[in-house]
Amino acid sequence: MTSTAVRVALRVRPLAQREQLTNCTECLSFIPNEPQILIGTDKSFTYDYVFDPNTPQNDVYKKAAGPLLDKFVDGFNATILAYGQTGSGKTYSMGTGLENPADTENEGIVPRCIIDLFQSLEERAQRSADFKYEVYVSFLELYNEELIDLLNPHTSHKRKNHSSPGHNSMSHNNNNNNIPAAAEVTIREDVAGNIYWSGVKEELCTSPKELLGFLEKGSLCRTTGSTDMNSVSSRSHAVFSVILKQQRPQEEAENHDRSSSPLGATKKLQSLTSKFHFVDLAGSERLKRTNAQGDRAKEGIAINAGLLALGNVISALGDESRRTAHSDPHAGLCVAC
């Protein structure tokens, strides 16, 4: 793991057609081989990675997300957050937008991670008969301060009927009157200070195809709406979580940590659970610029409140003096678009 808990990648998207037609011009310049950008001539900003508008999806994945996947398979928790203004390319970068599933060249971070995850697990299973694994998935949406389980038709149905006029019409289903009440999704803290959620469906997946199917199913249920800045704007924060339960020989775990193994050691098995959270945040927005009114404006206020709280958490994680309270092995990356 690198020495910092949070790393930041900046990705700049190409100008959209609408921006080109209104004569918008690039105001950023890039310094070759340096993770730096310049605004105008005098203001420079440095990040852990910078990706210019010509950077292909695969490069973003390999450089920014690939190392986290390796850590995840080693048993560490990892999170990737996509943060940025509405319309800046968060959903595109994460690959949760289902633009064209056949267009593999343009697929984003999540589908690429899923494919490489299973490949890496298969390789480990072939190397050692003692290596066993199970992969689970959950998909949550935080919409207007309410948690919705996107893989549970009961909770997503309840929300659809009560509070989401901007809901993606593709997922609309009018014929669910007999669906029984579902468990509420809640976030709790245990006595040890660990945060966990309850009432969330975790589905077992045995192949990338199955896992991608859940990504597609949940993405179809996500709340989207049209604003002046993005015709298909995500109006919620979405958390796609992959949970890896593995049993592996202790020696292998020690080899990873210390690159050495005592000769003749008896094989002990170690059980580990790690989680990889992929978070596609709703866009930070100025209500004036998105021209949001009514429900869109209410959503915008909830979105900004959530992002403000998240900003406080990230500053706490980045502050060495406050980080000691968080002892979980955790690697994080924030892709700011």
Write out the binding residues for ATP. 84-91
Q: Which of 1, 2, 14, 161 binds ligand ATP (CB under 6 A)?
A: 14
- Separation of alpha carbons 290 and 288, rounded Å: 6
User: Of the listed pieces 83-91, 134-142, 201-209, 250-258, which binds ligand ATP according to CB under 6 A?
Assistant: 83-91
- Separation of alpha carbons 273 and 84, rounded Å: 31
User: Of the listed pieces 26-34, 88-96, 184-192, 257-265, which binds ligand ATP according to CB under 6 A?
Assistant: 88-96
Closest separation in Å from C-beta 54 to ligand ATP: 9
CB half-sphere exposure, 247, CA atoms < 13 A: 7
Closest separation in Å from C-beta 233 to ligand ATP: 3
Q: Judged by CB under 6 A, does residue 86 bind ligand ATP?
A: yes
Q: Which of 223, 234, 246, 274 binds ligand ATP (CB under 6 A)?
A: 234
Q: Which is nearer to ligand ATP, 243 or 337 (CB)?
A: 337
Q: Which of 283, 300, 306, 332 binds ligand ATP (CB under 6 A)?
A: 283
Q: Which is nearer to ligand ATP, 28 or 253 (CB)?
A: 28
- Separation of alpha carbons 68 and 76, rounded Å: 9
Closest separation in Å from C-beta 14 to ligand ATP: 5
Q: Judged by CB under 6 A, does residue 306 bind ligand ATP?
A: no
Q: Judged by CB under 6 A, does residue 101 bind ligand ATP?
A: no
Q: Which of 79, 219, 230, 274 binds ligand ATP (CB under 6 A)?
A: 230
Q: Which of 79, 164, 171, 233 binds ligand ATP (CB under 6 A)?
A: 233
Site residue total, ligand ATP (CB under 6 A): 19
Burial class of residue 61 (count of CB atoms within 10 Å of its CB; 0-12, 13-18, 19+): buried
Closest separation in Å from C-beta 264 to ligand ATP: 53
Q: Which of 61, 65, 84, 279 binds ligand ATP (CB under 6 A)?
A: 84
Q: Which of 89, 95, 111, 306 binds ligand ATP (CB under 6 A)?
A: 89
Which one, of 205, 278, 187, 183, lies nearest residue 238 by Cα? 278
Q: Judged by CB under 6 A, does residue 16 bind ligand ATP?
A: yes
Q: Which of 68, 73, 81, 88 binds ligand ATP (CB under 6 A)?
A: 88
User: Of the listed pieces 110-118, 186-194, 228-236, 243-251, which binds ligand ATP according to CB under 6 A?
Assistant: 228-236
The residues binding ligand ATP (CB under 6 A) are: 13-14, 16, 84, 86-92, 97, 230, 232-234, 282-283, 337
